[in-house]
Each structure stands twice: as structure tokens, then as C-alpha cells.
Structure 1
Amino acid sequence: MRTTAIFNHKGGVGKTTTASAMADILAIDYGKRVLLIDADPQGNLSTFYGVEPDEGNSTLDLFMGTHEPVYSDWISAARPDAPVDIIPSDTGLVQAEVAALKEDSRFNRHAMADLFRAIREDADADNQFAYDYVLIDCSPAFTQVSLAALRDADDIIIPVTTDLFSTAGMATVLQQIMGARDDGLQSSVAGVLVNMYKRGEDQNGLLAYLRNQKAVATFETVIHKSDKVVPAGTHGDPLIKFSPRCAASRDYRALVAEYVAQRGGHHNAKA
């Protein structure tokens, strides 16, 4: 099982789109079992998959420890036609983050690690809730929940756009991630993902800068800007089904192939 946090402390860089597109491609094209964790209080990923949090089955419940750690209790089926499972978000995560600062808080900073451990144990037992991939859609901030995802996931994908502010901010993100190693961070950075790319002199220059910097690798795949992404989200359809031939669909398929190949996985999609 591979666990990946999708994170940037800047909003509007395509974290949720990346999480959903990668999950759908891994499930539909590769036949993999995929779990999504919506770790953003805004809950956009949950909304996309048509999941409302019920008492006891949200990311909030996961971190507040409202029941015994039988992780399958937190899994919610997405829409019947959706190819993935999801742990939905809850707006109460904001209050939970505040409560986490109190000494008597029930907030479990190790909830993500406990979840991953339980999934791996089920995989060893060939349980129906075993997953091949877990993708975490983090909030655009270094919250306690985001930090748990960054600390306990196998690796991190950092989506950026090729504008000056996003590119300059990436250095800050990397500094904060590296600084988090003092808090036990074990994750490696799978790569910086250039998103919503549109050819032009300025963007080409910033893309070259990202690829030439030595701090962390940048994915070879670039996700081109596409006018099909927003309508797909509005309809609640996987991008690769809503518009399989659009630039973003082709790019996300190439990204997943590159991502799977990083770990030496079998990266041929189903015919």
C-alpha cells in the first residue's frame, strides 16, 4: 500500500482536482483499490463524490477518537457509480484544531498512522477493506491534520501553478516540510506537480526554474490548463470520463503512470 499526501499551503493550485483525478485513474484504468481522505474542512472532495459526513465516519471522528479504532467504520461509500472509497471531511475539523491546543484535548495526533497501520494489517489478512493506494487531500495550511498526513504518509505531492507567487511560495512549503522533520516527519517528497500550465514566455521560464532547482524533484508530467475541469467537478463526474480526450485527462493519466513507476509498480493501465 502506498499513502500520499497532496499538499500546498497555497490555495487554488489544484490539490482536490489532483486527488480525485489520480484516484479515479488508479481505480478505473489500473483496477486498484483506492481510499481518499478528505482532510480539508472545506470538504470539496467529499462534495465532489456526493458524500455527507455522518456521525462517526468523518475525518473529524478519526482524529477525535469518538469510537474504537476499527478503521473500516470510518469508510464511506461514495456515489454508487464512483470507483473509490472516501473518509469525508467535516467542518468541525476547524474547532478540533483549536481544541488540539488544549492539554486535555482528545485530539489524536497519531490517528493517521493508526489508520495506515490498520489498513496494512487488513491487507496482510486479505481483508475486503485492504487498499492499494490512499490519497489525502490536505487543507491549504499547516494544520494539525495536515501535519499528521505529511508526517505519516509515505510521500508528498506538491501541486503548484507557474505564477510567480506560487513558485516563490514553494520554497516556503519545502522549508516548512523539512522543518517538520523535528516533529517526526518521515515522508519523502514524490515531486512538485506543475498544474494548470499554459504555454507562454513567463510560464516557460518559471517551469524551467522549477525543473532546475535541486531541493526536490519536479514531475516530468505537466498538467495543462483545461476548460473541462470545472464542468466535470460541477457534474460530479470523473474527469477522465467527462472528457477523456481533454489535455488535463491525458496529462493526469501520464502523471499516474509516472507516479506508479516511481515505486517500481506495474504501470500499464488496463486496455
Structure 2
Amino acid sequence: MSKVIAIANQKGGVGKTAVASNLSVGLAMNGKKVMVIDADPQGNLTSSLGIDNADELENTLASFIEREIMEEQIEPEEYILHNEEGVDIMPCNIKLAGMDYMIMNALSREHLLDAFVSSVRDEYDYILIDCSPSLNLVTINVLTAADSVIIPVEASYLSMAGLQQLLASIGSTKRKLNRKLQVEGIVINKVNTRTNHEKDIIGKLREAYGSQIKVFDVMIPESVRAKECTAFGVSIYKHDGKGKVAKAFEELTREVLEHGC
């Protein structure tokens, strides 16, 4: 039975996709069987893991949801692609952007993705789901299917301000739709500790949330090399395996593994 982890934050630009792609490859490098689901219409996770021309793919999360609503017979294998770094992928593209209206009128609309996750979870140790930066019906589907949530945040006041809203949304989903949902932890991303401003915010974040929620010990540093990974369609381990960001993701992977499946 796999552990299903959503990577979520309602604020954009905090590095959700980088966390999802590099953590998934890190888990695979530790001998775990890993699948990722791209639930962001931008398809950045899909391209980050080396899948080209995402907008031309027929079998994506959007087409799965459409067929699930129509109650068609679906073989999960049709929707799974394979990455050369050892991660399986359910891809996504821009077609997902128009799915909320269709989902809104569906029976059991919050559980559409859970149907897919339930059909494959026995085959994996971890399933990671990269969310879009909005609390739409697709994201609600992700939170309903997940066991826990990793929340990437930047060391900025705006990021901290949005965190409480996200935690309230997770709490609401837990009460109404998914009793098992937990917050796996907050990971501080894109960090530049040379500035007193960021050091101050990091201290405030750990003080405000550390007693209630795990704040991962490791912080992911900001790096140009990390930003280049998406363009090359590879993880940080392949692009700059000896760099500081790769070392940080190795530590994040270790902390996640300590929680177990």
C-alpha cells in the first residue's frame, strides 16, 4: 500500500513542481517504486520529468477525469508513462484548465481522482501529486485522494500570509471529505540565507508553525542550476548531482522516508 502525498500551495511560484520532481526521483534512487501525478494544467511536472509535447498527449489526467465522469471502462496503464530516472508519470496538459465545469456536475465529484489512485496504489511505495496554485475542484480531488500534504513555501511575508488559508482549506477537506488527511510538513524552498530579511522570516515561520506542524529541517537553497532542470527535463540529481540543491533534496528525501509508508 503506497503513501499518497500531495504537493500543494495556493500561492504560485513557491517551487511545488521542483519539490515534486526531485523528491520523486530521490525516493526512486532509494529503491522505492514511485509514481507522480501532474494535476497542474501548465504541465510543468510532466515536462520537468522529460515528457515532451505534453499538449499533444491524448491520455492525460484531463481525459481520465472525462472518461471517469462518463463511467467508461478505463485501464490505468493507458495513462502511465515512464521516466528514464525511474519514476512513472500520469501526465497533464492545458486541457485540465477547462475541467472544473464538467467536474462540478459530476456524481461524487470530489472522488474522481481517488478512483485512479485506488486502482494503482498497491503497485507503488509512493504516489506524489503536484497541485495547481489554486483551490479548484481538481485540487480538492487531489486532497481527497491524498494521505498527506507537503507544503512548499518561500521565505517571504506573502508566502506566510497565504499559509494559514491553505491550512484552513486542508482542515476543511479533512473534516468533510478525507478523515485520514494529514500535513506531512512544510518545506522552506528557494532560500537565500545571506539576507537578514529571509533569516527573520524563517525564524518566524518555525516559531509560528513548528509546534503544530513539522517544518522540515532541511531548506532548499535558491539556485540557477535548479531552475535549469525544467528546461532540460531532468532532475537536479542528473543536472547538478554534486551541487547544494541536490544535497538538500537528498536530505528532504531522507526526512520523508523517516515518516515511512
Query: If the length of structure 1 is used for normalisation, what is the TM-score?
Result: 0.86
Q: How does 1:218-229 map to 2 (within 5 A)?
A: 218-229=215-226
Provide Cα deviations, 1:84-127, integer angstroms capped at 9, x if missing partner.
1111112121211122233xx4785312222222124xx3xxxx
Q: 2:258 aligns with which of 246, 257, 261?
A: 261
1:74 equivalenced with 2:79 (yes/no): yes
- 1:217 aligned residue: 214
Matches of 1:232 and 1:119, distance apart in 2: 28
Instruction: Write the letter of the residue equivalent to 1:32.
Output: K
Matches of 1:106 and 1:2, distance apart in 2: 26
Shift of 1:258: 0.3
Query: If the length of structure 2 is used for normalisation, what is the TM-score?
Result: 0.89
Provide Cα deviations, 1:189-237, integer angstroms capped at 9, x if missing partner.
0001100011121111111111112442211111111121112221122
60-69 or 11-20, larger mean C-alpha shift: 60-69
- 2:19 aligned residue: 18
Matches of 2:151 and 2:31, distance apart in 1: 25
Q: How does 1:126-145 map to 2 (within 5 A)?
A: 130-145=123-138
- 2:247 aligned residue: 250
Q: How does 1:1-271 map to 2 (within 5 A)?
A: 1-27=2-28, 29-48=29-48, 49-51=50-52, 52=54, 54-55=57-58, 57-64=59-66, 65=68, 67-78=72-83, 81-102=84-105, 105=106, 108-120=109-121, 123=122, 130-185=123-178, 186-199=180-193, 200-213=195-208, 214-263=211-260
Instruction: Write the letter of the residue equivalent to 1:191.
Output: G
Matches of 2:232 and 2:57, distance apart in 1: 23
Matches of 2:79 and 2:112, distance apart in 1: 12
Instruction: Write the letter of the residue equivalent to 1:236.
Output: G
Shift of 1:70: 2.7
More helix by share: 2
- 1:268 aligned residue: none
**Structure 1, unaligned stretches of length 5 or more?**
124-129, 266-271
